[in-house]
């Protein structure tokens, strides 16, 4: 288990691995973003400061050369030029709650507020040209979280109006799954057959073919704030304000194990691409991120 305390007493809202697993990034409320390489090197991608905006979401392009950073100040792509991290992709200043790359040209972006019911949108952007694609989906209460399934060209987002929306982008309309309460996190299985949404103290798992709820994962004693499928689709990881991470069997919903790390309330989770490591960030008193082996 590796414990990183790069963010200096501020909650960590996002963690992400590069596609080859050799790099790991974390972003925090104070606007700081750090990248850790397998060699142990630490790179400050974005600096904290009085004018910095909270970072809510991170993602890598396919070769790991670009880190996409999103937060209250919008989104941009950052690339290392050998000495500094510089903006290399067109930036957008609308407040971003979540982003994910569907492919190297297509960035899925959720616009809105993480807590308040402000107006927002779900958007697809063409990264090389910096142009927003059509259609876009206006969400009167904003978008809280976004997930993608590249294999099925499918995206999902949750709205401030307590709704999970799943859209196969070749189709005209998304599928909607109304929820009783807000959903701070959503994930799509790697095969595109299931979507999981954090709802209060549990996670609801839906089968997309029959458009029905398959499972409800219950066991946390606090709000579930993060959910992620393992790369093989067999496990669902959940993180909660009860300061635990739980692993569940994605087929049966059976709880497999529970981890409690010294990072406070868990805000974010990410699997390494090979599924052998899992990372979590929280609001502990040292801005901590933990990365541990799954075997």
For 232-252, how does the pLDDT look when each residue is reduced to its tens digit (9 = 90+)? 999 999 999 999 999 999 999
| Under 8 Å between Cβ of 158 and 165 | yes
What is the three-class DSSP state of 128?
coil
| Under 8 Å between Cβ of 75 and 109 | yes
The pLDDT value recorded for residue 285 is 76
| Average pLDDT for the chain | 94
The pLDDT value recorded for residue 50 is 86
Superfamily covering domain 2-293: YVTN repeat-like/Quinoprotein amine dehydrogenase (2.130.10.10)
Tell me the two tokens of residue 134.
Answer: 């059509």
**Which H or E run contains 125?**
strand 120-126
The pLDDT value recorded for residue 11 is 95
The pLDDT value recorded for residue 92 is 82
- DSSP of 45-93: EE---TT---EEEEEE-TTS-EEEEEETTEEEEEEE-SSSEEE-S--B-
Instruction: Quick: pLDDT tens for 178-234.
Output: 999 999 999 999 999 999 999 999 999 999 999 999 999 999 999 999 999 999 999
Summarize the confidence of residues 31-52 as an average pLDDT. 90
| Under 8 Å between Cβ of 269 and 239 | yes
**pTM (two decimals):** 0.95
The partner residues of 163 in beta bridges, in order of sequence, read: 159, 178
């Amino acid at each position: 288990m590796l414990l990183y305390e790069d963010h200096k007493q501020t909650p960590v809202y996002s963690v992400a691995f590069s596609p080859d697993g050799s790099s790991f990034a974390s972003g925090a409320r104070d606007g700081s973003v750090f990248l850790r390489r397998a060699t142990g090197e630490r790179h400050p991608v974005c600096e904290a400061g009085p004018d910095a905006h909270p970072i809510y979401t991170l993602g890598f392009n396919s070769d790991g050369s670009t880190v996409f950073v999103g937060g209250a100040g919008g989104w941009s792509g950052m690339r290392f030029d050998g000495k500094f991290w510089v903006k290399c992709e067109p930036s957008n200043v609308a407040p971003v709650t979540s982003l994910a790359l569907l492919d190297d040209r297509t960035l899925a972006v959720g616009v809105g507020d993480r807590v308040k019911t402000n107006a927002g949108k779900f958007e697809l952007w063409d990264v090389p040209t910096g142009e927003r694609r059509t259609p876009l989906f206006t969400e009167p209460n904003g978008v809280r979280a976004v997930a993608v399934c590249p294999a099925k060209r499918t995206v999902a987002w949750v709205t401030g109006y307590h709704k999970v929306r799943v859209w196969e982008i070749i189709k005209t309309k998304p599928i909607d799954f109304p929820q009783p309460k807000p959903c701070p996190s959503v994930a799509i299985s790697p095969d595109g057959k299931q979507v999981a949404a954090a709802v209060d103290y549990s996670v609801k798992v839906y089968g997309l073919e029959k458009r029905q709820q398959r499972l409800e994962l219950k066991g946390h004693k606090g709000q579930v704030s993060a959910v992620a499928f393992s790369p093989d689709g067999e496990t669902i990881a959940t993180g909660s304000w009860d300061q635990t991470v739980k692993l569940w069997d994605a087929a049966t919903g059976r709880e497999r194990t529970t981890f409690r790390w010294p990072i406070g309330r868990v805000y974010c989770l990410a699997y390494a691409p090979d599924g052998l490591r899992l990372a979590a960030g929280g609001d502990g008193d040292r801005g901590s991120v933990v990365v541990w082996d799954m075997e």
